[in-house]
Amino acid sequence: MKYRSTRGGMAPLPFCDILLEGLAPDGGLSLPETLPQLDADTLESWRGLSYADLAAQVLGLFIDDIPADDLLRMTRAAYAPDVFPQIAPVKPLRPGLALLGLSEGPTLAFKDMAMQFLGQVFEYVLDQRGQTLNILGATSGDTGSAAEYALRGKRGVAVFMLSPQGRMSAFQRAQMYSLQDANIHNIAVRGVFDECQDIVKALAGDLDFKSTHHLGAVNSINWARIAAQIVYYVWGWLRATQGPGQQVSFAVPSGNFGNILAGHLARRMGVPIHRLVLATNENNVLEEFFRTGVYRPRPASQTYATSSPSMDISRASNFERFVFDLVGQDAARVRALMAELQQTGQFDLSALKPQFTERYGFVAGASSHADRLTTIRAIHDETGVLIDPHTADGVKVAQAHLEPGIPMLVLETALPAKFAETILEATGQAPAVPAALQDLQQRPQRVETMDCDARQVADYLHRHAL
């Protein structure tokens, strides 16, 4: 299994090389040269597997430069009961509508599902090669803490995580900034998430700086994140169906497009997925694209601060991987579109709009603060289940796309404890906080605050890199 760039400028590389590279040298994103295919017999043979053993099977389709026994050992460590007391349970909400619970890990967010595997595989590959790696990432809320908890104390890895100052919940900030491990570095940038992401891309795109400082990525631009997320689409399908061929739809709260991209790839691999329901908040650039065919990211000044802050994103890093499929995997066309985007601030693929749903199964919708409050309150009143604001966006949009006989699974984004203010507004009661985290916001915090300036970040990284 070799990997290529969406922009066509990278020689094919094995998994372990792209794991450490992050962004491709030509500025594109890595994808398999060919996508593995799953037939009904293979899917049925996996029904009795534990999550860890299923992960080894699915990831093994993409990783042939790590021995199968070592891969299984890593997935069993990543998805052990002491890391995930429950793992991806299906929680019924209404007829035909259920949650896939992805937030039972150490940071109470779905990002743990992929990050715990990344923590294992980074350490393994770096040990094998005798190398070090400096992870440079950006977070709008949950990626940062999930990455830091997965990589804290790991050999040969340092993490430099940029976050938008004042744009995350108090709980999210405390989860990241309270870590005192020597290999964890938090940088609060005076700006929005998209500007943090721009800094990461600028430094990763400086090939001399990247090579000198051994830069890697843990955002979903790293293919390993996407591969690990494909696992829970397979798991969810197996849990929501009784036999081969039955269709399932997934509703996915979406900001950076990585989570739903994994569903798109699972569908292309042969998992019987009917609809991929993309849910956004007021920052609805992706919803606008699927409605109109025009991709028109907004500037920082027009990126709203909302009550589902992890989706306060106007430029989705992973969208390029979907565009690559949409234009027939034509790397030259992708390069031209990305150049057009840089020059004009948008590109128009409305001529391909019929393919969005007919070929790829996508539908989309947006949710507002009032929608979130209404949805959280209604679900709690009906079922006793509390959902976080991002998951509420998913539930709200999912309900417009329910179809008889086709289960709809909403991918849970986080536990409500991370967004107490909104939960309190919706229900009149604060969400329960796990006992181990009840003093989280009182713990000492360690963070560097900087202007939105790639040079300042580069200087800090230069002084603290491994």
Give me the active site residues, please: 111
Q: How many CB atoms lie within 10 A of CB 41?
A: 8
What the block records as the tokens of 296 is 């028109």
Computed from CA positions of residues 78, 79, 83, 89, in that sequence, does the dihedral angle turn out positive or negative?
positive
Cβ-contact 87, 76 below 8 angstroms: no
d(CA 225, CA 150): 13
Q: Contact, 160 vs 136, CB < 8 A?
A: yes
Q: Do 318 and 220 form a contact (C-beta atoms < 8 A)?
A: yes
Tell me 37's DSSP state. -
Which residue in this structure is represented by tokens 């295919």? Answer: 37
- Rounded Cα gap, residues 419 and 103, in angstroms: 13
In which element (H, E) is residue 431 found? Answer: none
Beta strands in 95-132 (DSSP E): 97-100
Within 13 Å and on the Cβ side, how many CA atoms surround 266? Answer: 32
C-alpha to C-alpha distance for 18 and 16, rounded to whole angstroms: 6
447-466: burial string, b at 16+ Cβ within 10 Å, e else: beebebebeebbeebeeebe
Q: Are 376 and 391 in contact (CB under 8 A)?
A: no
Q: Cα separation of 350 and 375, whole Å?
A: 32
In angstroms, rounded to a whole number, what is the distance separating the alpha carbons of residues 114 and 146? 9
Cα distance between residue 462 and residue 440, in whole Å: 30
Tokens 């830069």: give the residue.
215
Q: Which amino acid is at 406?
A: I
Beta strand pairing call for 362-366 and 448-450: unpaired
* Helix boundaries (H) for 314-386: 319-326, 331-344, 353-358, 369-383
Q: Are 348 and 256 in contact (CB under 8 A)?
A: no
Amino acid at site 228: A
